[in-house]
């Protein structure tokens, strides 16, 4: 048995989170694509069956009140809040990440007020964030300027209205410095908007602690909410009464059943709602979040770093020198919960890995991406993934 396999067994034996694997439905494959779609929590199928058969099938319209459907967006937001370092009453769940980016960015420009005519956007962002930012800039009459996150402090000025940044780079896994960048945006009098899609559920965020203004995120990655599960919007408490959503809807009205012609926004996070909540996927998400009961985000972060460290160590041991290059920073303070490897013919390599039971993903043109979800990924999984990667690449 190799040194790496022996070490993996010892690390698994000492893993305080190892028992959480039983909270998920898993097979014999090594699943390292939880940064695209989290695994199925074991509690979800039964809960969805109840929602469909009893709440919808028997109670029908009564479930809006008797089953708590109407209050689900705020209730589930409060379940997510501690995972991103927020107090209750600041997160509402609903719509897609893209829609929430639009709400947050236009809302940020309106919060910034007149005289600020520029929006800064992360130049390395997931493409949709860039598309939304470009549209928001056109609609609000602002100029859009793409800037690398490290260059944001030097790019800020009296013209800056809002800054849209990703906490973790989706391709490389680089973790950006949310505390210092948020402070720089605040000092410049601008409004910060953070995309947490690749950090929530994988590492501490500290929205309240660091004074983030607005944030959005998806729930189908490290939060395991299921394909297309609803996203969320965070509005810091002291900004809520001034937050002017560009998508006012009947669900965010102060009197949603008053059917008034004039719009009066509801107080608090509720004003981030738009239309009728997507109840089936929302309640599946609520059940999925039960896997976090009794789990410390700090413990998850510690295991995440240990997993990614061990994976890089195993890759160095098993993969022929010079065949892959890590794009993910070595420094823990700059690393999310994934490892991205540049590799020739990466698409074919990933296809062969999947055939052999190691599931990651591929990003054009040459990036192998492996996500490490500490709730269900073990050190034995990591060793096996690196060993199979080495065998696949050596067989070329």
Query: Which residues belong to the active site?
Result: 126, 195, 220-221, 369
**What's the rounded Cα separation, in Å, for the pair 249 and 256?**
9
Q: What single DSSP character describes residue 353?
A: H
* SS3 label, residue 288: helix
Q: At what angle do helices 379-394 and 3-13 cross, to 10 degrees?
A: 160
Closest C-alpha to 300, from 18, 4, 14:
18
Taking the C-alpha atoms of 114, 120, 126 and 130 in order, what is their torsion angle to the nearest 10 degrees?
A: 50
Taking a C-beta distance cutoff of 8 angstroms, is the pair 229, 284 a contact? yes
CA–CA distance, 32 with 369 (Å, rounded to integer):
8
- What six digits make up the tokens of 367? 């990036």
Strand partners, 146: 121
Cite the DSSP H helix spans in 151-256.
152-155, 178-187
What is the Cα–Cα distance from 349 to 391, expressed in whole angstroms? 11
Which residue has tokens 């859009």? 144
Main-chain phi, psi angles of 89, to 5 degrees: 85, 15
Residue 267's φ and ψ, nearest 5 degrees, are: -75, 155
Task: Give dist(CA 106, CA 142) in Å, integer.
Answer: 10
Match 């810091």 to its residue by tokens.
Answer: 236
In the three-class reduction of DSSP (H, G, I as helix; E, B as strand; rest coil), residue 66 is classed as: helix
């Amino acid at each position: 048995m190799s040194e790496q396999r022996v070490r993996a067994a010892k690390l698994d034996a000492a893993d305080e989170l190892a028992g959480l694997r039983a909270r998920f439905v898993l097979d014999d494959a090594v699943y390292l694509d939880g940064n695209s779609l989290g695994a199925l929590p074991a509690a979800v199928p039964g809960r969805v069956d109840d929602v469909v058969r009893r709440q919808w099938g028997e109670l029908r319209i009564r479930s809006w009140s008797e089953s708590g459907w109407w209050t689900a967006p705020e209730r589930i937001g409060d379940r997510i809040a501690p995972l991103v370092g927020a107090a209750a009453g600041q997160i509402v769940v609903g719509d897609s990440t893209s829609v929430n980016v639009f709400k947050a960015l236009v809302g940020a420009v309106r919060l910034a007020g007149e005289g600020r005519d520029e929006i800064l956007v992360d130049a390395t962002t997931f493409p949709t964030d860039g598309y939304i930012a470009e549209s928001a800039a056109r609609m609000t009459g602002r100029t859009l300027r793409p800037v690398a996150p490290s260059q944001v402090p030097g790019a800020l000025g009296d013209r800056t209205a809002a800054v849209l940044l990703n906490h973790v780079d989706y391709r490389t896994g680089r973790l950006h410095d949310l505390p210092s960048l948020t402070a720089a945006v605040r000092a410049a009098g601008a409004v910060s908007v953070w995309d947490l899609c690749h950090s929530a559920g994988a590492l501490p965020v500290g929205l309240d602690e660091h004074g983030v203004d607005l944030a959005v995120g998806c729930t189908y990655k490290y939060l395991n909410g299921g394909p297309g599960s609803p996203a969320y919007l965070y509005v810091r408490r002291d900004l809520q009464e001034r937050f002017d959503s560009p998508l006012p809807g009947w669900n965010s009205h102060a009197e949603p059943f008053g059917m008034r012609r004039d719009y009066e926004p509801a107080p608090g996070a509720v004003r981030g709602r738009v239309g009728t909540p997507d109840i089936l996927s929302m309640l599946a998400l609520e059940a999925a979040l039960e896997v976090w009961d009794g789990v410390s985000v700090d413990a998850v972060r510690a295991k995440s770093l240990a997993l990614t460290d061990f994976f890089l160590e195993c890759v160095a041991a098993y993969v022929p020198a010079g065949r892959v290059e890590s794009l993910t920073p070595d420094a823990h303070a700059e690393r999310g919960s994934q490892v991205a490897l540049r590799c020739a013919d990466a698409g074919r390599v990933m296809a062969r890995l999947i055939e052999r039971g190691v599931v990651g993903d591929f990003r054009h043109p040459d990036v192998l991406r492996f996500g490490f979800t500490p709730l269900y990924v073990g050190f034995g999984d990591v060793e096996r993934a690196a060993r199979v990667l080495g065998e696949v690449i050596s067989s070329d």
